Structure 1
Amino acid sequence: MYVGCKTRKVAVIGTGFVGSSCAYSLVNQSICDELVLIDRTKERSLAHALDLSHCSDFTHSRTKVTAGGYEACGDADIVVLCAGTKPKPGGTRLDLLEGTADIYKSAVPQIMASGFDGIFVNAANPVDIITYAVWKWSGLPRGRVVGTGTSIDSSRLKTLLCEHLPVDPRSVQGYVLGEHGESQFPAWSHVTIGGKPVLDILAQHPQRFGHLKLEEIEAKTRDAGWEIMQRKGSTYYGIASAIAAIVRSILNDDHKITAVSAVLDGEYGCRDLCAGVPAILNRQGVAELVELNLTPDEQERLARSFAVLREAASRLKL
């Protein structure tokens, strides 16, 4: 059984906007003891490592930051995958599949050859299919390969809801399910505010919250990433925070439930596929998937999302 290292070490692959923002979050929140940055542009990873090492006087505890190659993953607890291809205007995350897959088809065997025996956390898009491919290529148990999945979408959902409701987003519980992409959807039957279903709140207070249209919130949640990309070219702060939270949950053995991309093995009636579902995260990675009691409509939408992912995954011939 994987028990990890005494020194909490994380390796980040890819130090573009997402990888560098992830590294900053890990250092600024003092999540790990040691952080190694790996990038095909070695000067960039070295520059980031030097820059981040200068934060130590201002953080809660010191994180040793270095730059290196895949061989540095050998004693890492977690390897975070951030390298990927850039989306094109008007495309979808699924369009990135072959280019990103080529990166990890080469990288994962090299990481495993280093002696790595930890947990992969993948943020590269299309995140569900790349997570599944990394699981296949690594040979690790399914719980030790996890994608960011719909964690960021679930956070966006809560934030958008609280633009209309007088509560903090952290008081909202709920999940976006399925693909981190066009076929995702919120499981409205399980969205609660302070334990009270949001559907009941809207039904009981039509005059106060009648302006709130769930279908509009759903569309804004789905399109939030593209809206950001159209304005500044990339999203990175939100997803970096999601990565940091997942890494923290794993290293701290939190047993926190988060919507992540996980390998399904019969849950929600699906096998041999990754998709965004609630999961318990602990020191072993994904300890258990949480199966929500979905409505018939939600079950149908999730099945459609699975079908989209399975069709796209078939392009890799894994």
Structure 2
Amino acid sequence: MQQHIRKVAIIGTGLVGSSAAYSILNQGICDELIMIDINKERAIGESLDLSHCIDFTNSRTKVHAGTYQDLGDVDIVVITAGPPPKPGQTRLDTLGIGAKIMEDMIPQIMASGFNGIFLIASNPVDIITYLVWKISGLPRNRVIGTGTSLDSSRLKTYLSEILDVDPRSIYGYTMGEHGDSQFAAWSHVSIGGKPLLQILDERKGEFGHIDLDQIVEDVKKVGFEILKRKGTTYYGIGNAIAFITKSIFNDDHRIIALSCVLDGEYGESELCTGVPAIITREGIKEIIELRLTVEEQEKFRKSTAVLRDYLASLGYEEKILATV
């Protein structure tokens, strides 16, 4: 009886990578987990520590350190390598270092024979996802960024506290850049199927104090609030990585706000940004094109313009295109 071994590799075993590994292991998402880092001793240490969790979990996952040469038969390569933004920086300010890491790393991964799915969490995630797609040569459905999945979760968390409802009963997304130009598609946010804007209109006495613009600002800035207090964020994004990985393996057809390569969707091409998409065993099955309001369309356009301008200003678009 033949059985497919579900294999995941995590490149970058810092706080984000190790948190993602911990979530993946505890949920029994894969059969084998490979930890890779430029600091090989760190990767070995994390692997040993994680392997000691197995006795307390419901499934056995083999955990070990590895190299790029081990990735030929891996299903999903998770990339978390890269510097977190420092106080006063935006995620886009880490692009220079992140791009150089990808230029060195991705060809080595592809040389192993890797033909699976890339899941990227390294910031600035939208641009890094685009670079990985260009360098790897893989189809766009198999190069995925975590995008605004975490931002959408944060949005639901804030709304759940205000409306006193489980965040899992709230449906909606933030879209665009995983950064300062993102926006909430309020016209498509619903609570148990009822549009949020309708609820706010009908219950002005109870919810008239809610400032939707401030909620979006809070979502944008909360990562940096966490950074100021503890150095960086890792539990939320670590669990988001595990959630997306599980959705891929389970062929869930779940809709998640991810950084996707656009090819005409929302009037954009040759760009990665956060949009709702159906995730399956083959990666992105379909990008969901929401009917945005005029105001939301303009916010989306401005967000994609930020990404295009920043990439072009650093010269990386031409540089990457010259390598493929």
Quote the Cα distance in structure 1 between the aligned partners of 2:194 and 2:222: 26
The DSSP-based 3-state class of the residue aligned with 1:103 is: helix
59, 75, 78: which one aligns with 1:77: 75
Per-residue deviation, 1:103: 0.7
104, 111, 114: which one aligns with 2:112: 114
Per-residue deviation, 1:58: 1.1
Structure 1 residue aligned with 2:219: 221
- Listed as ranges, the gaps of 5+ residues in structure 1 are none
Residue 45 of structure 1 aligns with an amino acid whose one-letter code is A
Structure 2 residue aligned with 1:8: 6
Per-residue deviation, 1:64: 0.4
The DSSP-based 3-state class of the residue aligned with 1:124 is: coil
228, 232, 253: which one aligns with 1:230: 228
Residue 162 of structure 1 aligns with an amino acid whose one-letter code is S
The reply on whether 1:135 has 2:133 as its aligned counterpart is: yes
Please show how residues 273-292 of structure 1 align to structure 2 within 5 Å. 273-292=271-290
Quote the Cα distance in structure 1 between the aligned partners of 2:53 and 2:126: 33
Quote the Cα distance in structure 1 between the aligned partners of 2:39 and 2:86: 22
Please show how residues 8-157 of structure 1 align to structure 2 within 5 Å. 8-157=6-155
What percent identity do the matched residue pairs reach? 61
- Listed as ranges, the gaps of 5+ residues in structure 2 are none
2:84–2:91 Cα contact (<8 Å) kept: no
For each residue in 1:202-222, what CA deviation from the matched residue of structure 2 results, as whole angstroms up to 9, or x when unmatched?
Answer: 110011111211111111011
Residue 23 of structure 1 aligns with an amino acid whose one-letter code is A
For each residue in 1:65-119, what CA deviation from the matched residue of structure 2 results, as whole angstroms up to 9, or x when unmatched?
Answer: 0001111111100000000023121111110001011111100000000110000
Quote the Cα distance in structure 2 between the aligned partners of 1:60 and 1:149: 30
Residue 75 of structure 1 aligns with an amino acid whose one-letter code is D
After TM superposition, the score normalised by the length of structure 1 is 0.98
Residue 107 of structure 2 aligns with an amino acid whose one-letter code is P
Please show how residues 292-311 of structure 1 align to structure 2 within 5 Å. 292-311=290-309
After TM superposition, the score normalised by the length of structure 2 is 0.96
Structure 2 residue aligned with 1:203: 201
Quote the Cα distance in structure 1 between the aligned partners of 2:209 and 2:294: 26
Per-residue deviation, 1:57: 1.1
The DSSP-based 3-state class of the residue aligned with 1:149 is: coil
Quote the Cα distance in structure 2 between the aligned partners of 1:138 and 1:313: 18
Residue 258 of structure 1 aligns with an amino acid whose one-letter code is I
Quote the Cα distance in structure 2 between the aligned partners of 1:86 and 1:50: 25
168, 171, 181: which one aligns with 1:173: 171
Identify which range, 114-123 or 51-60, moves more after superposition: 51-60
2:84–2:123 Cα contact (<8 Å) kept: no
Quote the Cα distance in structure 2 between the aligned partners of 1:310 and 1:247: 28
The reply on whether 1:163 has 2:174 as its aligned counterpart is: no
For each residue in 1:162-206, what CA deviation from the matched residue of structure 2 results, as whole angstroms up to 9, or x when unmatched?
Answer: 111021000000000000001000000000000001111111001
List structure 1 runs of 4+ shifted beyond 3 angstroms. none
Quote the Cα distance in structure 2 between the aligned partners of 1:39 and 1:194: 43
Quote the Cα distance in structure 2 between the aligned partners of 1:304 and 1:216: 19
Quote the Cα distance in structure 2 between the aligned partners of 1:283 and 1:76: 13
Quote the Cα distance in structure 1 between the aligned partners of 2:14 and 2:86: 17
Structure 1 residue aligned with 2:210: 212
